[in-house]
Amino acid sequence: MAPTKFSAGQRVSMTRGAVFAAPGGGCQIIAALPREAGPQQYRIRTEGENFDRIVDEVRLEAPHYE
């Protein structure tokens, strides 16, 4: 499996889109999914939710610390 941008356990931020109904804020990478075709996808868990989401890598970014 090729290296991925994010790894399991890493904290990331999820971007919001007009059609994307997930809450903004922090989330944790649960696993990188095997890439067969299309964009790299990850299983994530958002703070305050008790279920996982599958999102494309373009929807995720490393948190910005000030």
pLDDT at 45: 94
* Average pLDDT estimate for 19-42: 83
Dig out the tokens for 38 from the structure.
């299309």
20/57 Cα distance (integer angstroms): 14
pLDDT at 54: 93
pTM to 2 decimals? 0.81
Length of the chain: 66
When the pLDDT of each residue in the chain is averaged and rounded to a whole number, the result is: 84
Instruction: Write the pLDDT tens digit of every residue in 31-51.
Output: 999 988 889 999 999 888 899
In the predicted structure, residue 8 carries a pLDDT above the cut 90:
yes
22/2 Cα distance (integer angstroms): 28
For residues 43 and 22, which has the higher predicted lDDT (pLDDT)? 43
43/54 Cα distance (integer angstroms): 5
